Amino acid sequence: MEQRNDTTSETRSIPVDETTDVGGIPPYMYIVPLFLTVAFAFTVGYLVSFLFKPKEQKNEKEDVAKPVPASKDVTSVKTNDSTLKNGAKASKKSAAATSGQNKAKDTYAHPLLVTSLKGHTGEVFDGDFSPNGKYFATCSEDRSVSMWPTSEFLTDSPAKEIKHHRLNIDFDHATSIQFSPGSKAMLGLMDNARVLRVFKLIKKTDGYFGSMQPAMDIPQTSHGDLLFMNIDCNGKYIMTAYQNSNICIWSLKGQLLQTLAANMGVFSDCKVSPCGRSVAASGSAASVTVWGVNFDDDTNEFRSVDRAFELKGHSVVVPAFAFSADSTHMVSVSRDKSFRLHDINIQYRKKEEPRLVLSGTWTTETVRPAEKITVALSNDAKCIIIGYGNDVLIISGSDGSLKNSIKPLLNGPVNRVMFDPSSGFVLVLGGKIVRVYRNIPGYEIAIGALQKKLKYASQDSVRQRLQQQLDDAQKMLSASKLQYHV
């Protein structure tokens, strides 16, 4: 061992180029194996680098182009792409289905339904027929007034799609509207501004209404919120009713003519009679008060407003009342479940009192205090419509019987019920829709009343007139029943 160590030590100290033998082995024999070992190691390292490093670089490039987790292979990538595409398609289908549900087709049907007026995107509050009968206007929470040509829906063969003309209101919406007597302007009770605004109606070259421009506001008062408004059919004055139970009479130029202190708490209803000669209001009392509005017959100058008469008989408040078209009758509806029909064709200055024609019960169910009640009276005062909650009741003004009960399905409460100018159609406003029904019960009621009058008529001229009216009503009823399968 000692001899080998020495030899090893000597070997390490010998220069590489020496040719001296060591243990009998030439020096180059040590160099060759060393060289081969280094070359082999270098070759193996190079091969490893060549085989694996380029593949990693290639994968890195692929990773940059398409970020896929390293643990997932190509098959999983394709599957994910397909899943994403299918998911996108499913999302689109789901969105389309949701959109379809939001714009679901109205499948509502009723034997008396003529058509439904659709087009508003907000709640419909009120409506009014133009004095010439050519248009029906509706106001909505969507800040617009829509004009509907009556020729397209006041018929037994309405158009499939009722065209309407949308008139926008900037930054506000109206909760009540009314045409001016000449149909050239419209009054709107503005919700945000709480003022009565007069709009000028602008027609397009084709004759249809194209826009409405603010013309003037009735001056604001210190009487609290504005609750009701109406314009006289003769264009002599405008009526406004306020929260503190005051009523103001204005000229068409906005000049205050007179203020009435009604002293009946908060108004529940207030309106001008169709003839324009009276203003009526109801509030916290169980009655309806009527005032006469007086103008000079020769000069048309305003004179005064005086108390005319009062409709009594209810036990609690009267939330709604209505006039007949000729202003000869009034119907009042109370939360005590009663209704009362009066003949008001009287001379109140001679101390004549209204005559009670009919009283009855309009519902047997509990009347909720906060639920809105609306009422309308036909031209002949023989048909009464009451809207309450989600129901519409058609009641005979002859005997008080319930002729029909309708659920209009408006997706909201009934805001107003009304007749068309002929009383041949019933309109129900609420939700985003106006339902139009044929007033077949009204024809049946009218026929019964005519038959009763004919039975007691003694004069030939009267009998002939009644018989002609009866024949016309029966023909209309027969045609309507055939059309609506009732």
Q: Looking at 101, 124, 148, which one is the last position of a domain?
A: 101
The pair of structure tokens assigned to 243 is: 């929260």
Residue 25 within a domain: yes
Residues 298 and 309 in one domain: yes
The total number of structural domains that make up the chain: 3
Q: 4-8, 33-37, 118-122, 191-195 — which is least confidently predicted?
A: 4-8
Same domain (yes/no): 340, 233: yes
* Residue 252 and residue 182 share a domain: yes
User: Does residue 348 share a domain with residue 454?
Assistant: no
- Do residue 65 and residue 214 come from a single domain? no
Asked if 68 and 131 sit in the same domain, the reply is no
pLDDT in tens, 232-249: 999 999 999 999 999 999
Judgement on whether residues 76 and 210 belong to the same structural domain of the protein: no
pLDDT value at position 369? 86
Please tell me the predicted confidence (pLDDT) of residue 302.
Answer: 97
The structure's pTM equals: 0.78
Least confident of 45-49, 443-447, 468-472: 45-49
pLDDT tens-place string over residues 329-346: 999 999 999 999 999 999
Q: Are residues 364 and 479 in the same domain?
A: no
Q: Is residue 108 part of a domain?
A: no
Q: Does the residue 117 lie in any domain?
A: yes
Please report the sign of the dihedral spanned by the C-alpha atoms of residue 339, residue 345, residue 348, residue 351: negative
Q: Which residue has the higher pLDDT, 161 or 313?
A: 313
186 belongs to a structural domain:
yes
Mean pLDDT, the chain, whole residue set: 85
Matching residue, tokens 């309407």:
164
Q: Cα separation of 477 and 483, whole Å?
A: 10
The pLDDT of residue 21 is above 70? no
Give the Cα separation of 463 and 456 in Å (integer). Answer: 9
CATH number of residue 391's parent domain: 2.130.10.10
Of 101, 122, 145, which residue sits at a domain end?
A: 101
Residues 146 and 187 in one domain: yes
For the segment 5-11, the average pLDDT, to the nearest whole number, is: 43
Residue type, 118: K
Mean predicted confidence (pLDDT) in 247-271: 96
Q: Do 262 and 404 reside in the same domain of the chain?
A: yes
Task: Show the domain range for 460.
Answer: 440-486
Segment holding 100, helix H or strand E: helix 74-102
Same-domain check for residues 409 and 459: no
Residue 106, domain member (yes or no)? no
Confidence of residue 224 (pLDDT cuts 50, 70, 90): very high
Contact between residue 387 and residue 373 where contact means Cβ atoms under 8 Å apart: yes
Q: Is the pLDDT confidence value at 349 over 50?
A: yes
Output the pLDDT for position 38. 65
What's the whole-number mean pLDDT along residues 136-149? 97
Listed residues 42, 69, 101: the one ending a domain = 101
For the segment 47-97, what is each residue's pLDDT rounded down to a tens digit? Answer: 656 555 544 444 444 443 444 444 444 333 343 444 444 444 444 444 444
Q: Is 426 found in the same domain as 281?
A: yes
Residues whose CB falls within 8 Å of the CB of residue 309, separated by 6 or more in sequence, listed in order: 290, 344, 346, 348, 353, 354
pLDDT given at position 91: 45
Position 18 scores a pLDDT of 44
Residues 6+ apart with CB under 8 A from 418: 127, 376, 385, 426, 427, 429
Residues 103-130: what's their mean pLDDT?
A: 91
